[in-house]
Amino acid sequence: MHPSRILFIHGFASSGTYKTADTLRILFRPCEVIAPDVPIDPREALPMLQDLCVTMQPDLIVGLSLGGFWAQKLRGYAKVCINPDFHVSRLLRTRLGENEYLSPRKDGATTFFVTETICAAYEALETSQFDLLDDWEREHTVGMFADADELVHCHDEFALHYPHAHYYPGKHLPTFPELKRHLVPLVEML
């Protein structure tokens, strides 16, 4: 059975227009896919995502990379974390200063800034990211990990906390065929 409403959370330097959102719309038609532009600052991002979940009540959350980090933090919802990065602060410290968005943002912004303050805010969230897990949360959180991920390697850490960690043959950003073949059965399992 397909969900009727999915919240898709994009990865670092991306936006709600990233191609995975459209892939979800195709694979889970006629499901509504909500794909917001998530702020880079975690002090803005987490409250925005929590409010969106309360308002929209998604049946499923799908998070990609940094979006997988956010999805994992949203308690009480079924979710699939695709190549989640549980150590965002490490990546961001290599990207201090001005960066370009990789896909168009609704507000027209083309660049964003990473500061040490933002990195420290992520680091603070990372220390408690697996707190307050219960049996329901463990059973309704699935990880999907590329076996040739060139960017993030958090499978083993995920598997310490959740029983459903699955590999797929591919790289960090999954293709349409990979999502069709590997994500759809995981969603049906949930």
Note the pLDDT tens digit of each residue in 57-91.
999 999 999 999 999 999 999 999 999 999 999 99
Q: What is the pTM of this model?
A: 0.94
E strands of 49-189, at which residues?
60-64, 79-82, 97-100, 111-114, 141-146, 164-168
Kindly report the average pLDDT of the chain as a whole number. Answer: 94
- Within 10 A of 95 (CB to CB), how many other CB atoms are there? 15
Which CATH number does 5-189 carry? Answer: 3.40.50.1820
Fill in the DSSP letter of residue 145.
E
**Predicted local confidence at residue 106, as pLDDT:** 93
**What is the distance between the alpha carbons of residues 115 and 98, in angstroms, rounded to a whole number?**
9
- Give the domain ranges of the chain: 5-189
